[in-house]
Structure 1
C-alpha cells in the first residue's frame, strides 16, 4: 500500500516529529519529518490509541530481506517485511485490537542491508500517540559485528551448528542479539553500532563488498554504508554511554589469519584498535569499556592480542571479559539461546562493578 492511497477520512498520520516518539540508536534527524533509521536494533517507542496500527516509511535497499520488527503491548511480536523500496509505502502492523491505549516498540531487525525513513504511525481517525514514559537512565553502547547485530539469531534449529545455507537475512533479528538482551537485563538504553562482517581494520573482514570497510571507518559515522549514499559524521554529544562494549576481532582473520604469524601486522592491528578506544575514551571520560570477542569459534590468538592491548592501554576502566565458552561455543552465528547465555554472563560481569558505573 502506498502512503498517497491512505484514506485520511478514516485514518490519521502522526508525523515523526511528534515529541511523543522516543528514538533509540544513532538516528539521522536531518529531516525531522522523516528521520532515517540506520543501525541494527535502533528503535522507536510510543503509546498509541485505537484498534489498528500502520507505519509509513521509505526503504533504502542494499541486500537481503528487509523488515521491521514490532512489539505491541509486550506480547504481540512480529515482523513487517518490506517488499517495495524507494517508495513511500505503508506497512500493516496490527488490527482488531481493543479500543484502548497500547504500548508500541518498532525496531530495525538488521544492519545496513537497508536504511529506512520513518514518516510516522497511522492510526484510526481521531486517535493519537502518547509518551512511552521517561527514558532509561542507564546507557550502553556496543561496537560489534554480525553477532552483536543478531544476524541469523532466529535460526534456533541450528544451535551449535553452521548457518543454514542461503538464509538471505530472514533469520536476522537484532532484538535477540546478546548486546540487546544485555541492555534489557541492565534496564539500559543502547546504541547498538553493530554491522555484519565488520573487522577493526579496513581491507579486512567482510563488510561492504569490494571495499572491506572496518571499524576504523564506521565508528564515528552516522550513515556509514557507501552503498546507500553519502556517509556523514556522528555527533558524539548526542549520546554518552556509561558502558561501552567493544566486540571486534573475529572478522579480522579474513582474508589472512595473521595474528600468530606476523608480528608487524599484529602490532598495527592493536595500535589501530587502541587508537579508536582512546578516541572514544576522550569522548566518554567516565565510561567503563568492556573488550570482548564471542562464543563463535575463532583463533585464540585474537583474544591473546586483546589481552595485550588492554594491558597496554593502562586504564582501569578498560577491561577484558571472556565468556565461559569463548571462541568455542558454535561454528555458526549465535542463536537466541546462545545469545541469552552470553547476555546473562555479560550482565553479571558488568553488574559486578557496582552502581557507581551508572553515575
Structure 2
C-alpha cells in the first residue's frame, strides 16, 4: 500500500520545504519523518541532489539503526528490512544524516497491502533550535576509532546527525529540534570554508530553507511554523579561516567587525524569538580562546538576562578533529544539564 508523504499519520520534524505538499524537500541535518505501522513491508522512494560527498539516508526501525547510500542524482528506492516481533507493529524514523552537501525529496512510502499506519505518542512541548557548523551537524561523528584525533580520510560515510551533540541534547531533554547546521560555515560571508572561495555565512543562512546556491535560488523560512523556547548559537570556529584575526589582532578592525556582526545576529534572533533563551557557545573542537572571549564580551554588552554564554569543561581543547560519539555525548550531557537549570517559560 503506497502512502503519500503528506499523510497525517506521519510526523515530520525539521525545517522542511513544503512548497509541494506531496514532495517535501529535506535540507538540514536532523530533519526526520516518523511513523508507526503494521506488517513486515516497508519501502521509501526519494530523489537526491548532490553537491559533494556520498549521501546517506538514516533509518531507525524498532530502535535498530542503519544508513542507506543514495544515488548521487535522481531516484533511489529502498526496501527496509523489518524485524519480526510478536505485535506485528513497528516504529520507524527516517532522517537526514548530513547537511546541505545534498538535498533529498521524499516521494513515497509503502507498507504491505491491508496494513495500516498507527497513531504515534504525542510529543512534549519542548522545542530547541541550533545554529551551528559541522560539529552541530554531527559531521564525522561515527569515526569512533579517531576519538581525540584528526579526522580520517572519508567521503561522508562517517557523518551522522543522530550522534551530533545537538540531537543528543534534544533527546536528553525530550525536545523537538531544528538543526540549522552547515559544515564549514562561519558567521559572516567571505570567511570560513562553506562554498569557498565565495563563502556563505550563517548571517545569510539562518532565515532560509534553501541556501546552497548549487541547488538554485535561496528561499525564505516562515518562522511562524516553529517557535523554540531555547536557541543555541554555536558559531565561531570556522571563522578563523583563512586568517585568525581574533587570535592575532583582537582589537583590530576585522575582530571588531566580527563582534559587531555577532551582536547584530543575536539581535535578529531576539527579535524573531522575543521569549526564547539564547545560549551562545563554541564546542570541544580545538580553537583559540579569543573567540570565546569575543562571545563573552558581546553577551555582556547586550545585557539581556536571557542571552547567556556557556563554556564546556573541555571547551576548545577537546579534540583536533570533529567530535566523535563519546565527545558529542560529553557535550550534550553538560548542555542538557545547563538548560534544565534555566527557568524556561513553557518548558513542560
Q: Report the counterpart of residue 111 of structure 2 in structure 1.
A: 123
State the 1:324 CA deviation. Answer: 0.4
Q: 1:142-184 CA deviation, whole Å, 9 max, x = no partner? A: 000000000000000000000002x011100000000000000
Contact 1:140-1:243 within 8 A present in 2 as well? yes
Give the one of 90, 96, 99 matched to 1:111.
99
State the 1:272 CA deviation. Answer: 1.1
Give the one of 131, 136, 140 matched to 1:152.
140
Q: Report the counterpart of residue 232 of structure 2 in structure 1.
A: 245
Contact 1:143-1:194 within 8 A present in 2 as well? yes
Q: Report the counterpart of residue 39 of structure 1 in structure 2.
A: 28
- The within-5 A match list for 1:279-290 is 279-290=268-279
Q: Report the counterpart of residue 304 of structure 1 in structure 2.
A: 293
Q: Distance in 2 between matches of 1:316 and 1:28?
A: 34
For residue 117 of structure 1, give the secondary structure of its aligned residue in structure 2.
Answer: strand
State the 1:193 CA deviation. Answer: 0.5
State the 1:231 CA deviation. Answer: 1.1
Contact 1:50-1:100 within 8 A present in 2 as well? yes
Which runs of no fewer than 5 residues in structure 1 stay unpaired?
Answer: 1-11
Which is worse superposed, 114-123 or 262-271?
Answer: 262-271
Q: Report the counterpart of residue 19 of structure 1 in structure 2.
A: 8
Q: Report the counterpart of residue 252 of structure 2 in structure 1.
A: 263
Q: Report the counterpart of residue 162 of structure 2 in structure 1.
A: 175
Give the one of 205, 208, 213 matched to 2:192.
205
Q: CA RMSD in A?
A: 1.3
Which is worse superposed, 247-256 or 40-49?
Answer: 40-49
Contact 2:229-2:345 within 8 A present in 1 as well? no
Q: Distance in 1 between matches of 2:72 and 2:190?
A: 32
Contact 2:229-2:344 within 8 A present in 1 as well? no
Contact 1:142-1:191 within 8 A present in 2 as well? yes
For residue 145 of structure 2, give the secondary structure of its aligned residue in structure 1.
Answer: helix
- The within-5 A match list for 1:61-76 is 61-74=50-63, 76=64
Contact 1:14-1:129 within 8 A present in 2 as well? no
Q: 1:83-107 CA deviation, whole Å, 9 max, x = no partner? A: 25223x3112224534712111111
Q: Distance in 1 between matches of 2:256 and 2:292?
A: 14
Q: Distance in 1 between matches of 2:195 and 2:136?
A: 17
Q: 1:297-338 CA deviation, whole Å, 9 max, x = no partner? A: 001110000000101111000000000000000000000000
Q: Distance in 2 between matches of 1:62 and 1:27?
A: 18
Q: 1:92-128 CA deviation, whole Å, 9 max, x = no partner? A: 2224534712111111000011111102311111223
Contact 1:80-1:92 within 8 A present in 2 as well? no
State the 1:357 CA deviation. Answer: 6.0
Contact 1:52-1:97 within 8 A present in 2 as well? no
Contact 2:277-2:344 within 8 A present in 1 as well? no
State the 1:239 CA deviation. Answer: 0.6
Give the one of 298, 305, 308 matched to 1:316.
305
Give the one of 126, 135, 144 matched to 2:123.
135
Contact 1:140-1:244 within 8 A present in 2 as well? yes
Q: Report the counterpart of residue 6 of structure 1 in structure 2.
A: none
What number of residue pairs does the alignment pair up? 345
Q: Report the counterpart of residue 294 of structure 1 in structure 2.
A: 283
Q: Report the counterpart of residue 47 of structure 2 in structure 1.
A: 58
For residue 48 of structure 2, give the secondary structure of its aligned residue in structure 1.
Answer: strand
State the 1:73 CA deviation. Answer: 1.5
- The within-5 A match list for 1:217-232 is 217-232=204-219
Q: Distance in 1 between matches of 2:172 and 2:32?
A: 17
Contact 2:49-2:72 within 8 A present in 1 as well? no
Which runs of no fewer than 5 residues in structure 2 stay unpaired?
Answer: none
Runs in 1 of length 4+ with deviation above 2 angstroms? 95-99, 354-357
The two structures have a TM-score, normalised by structure 2, of 0.96
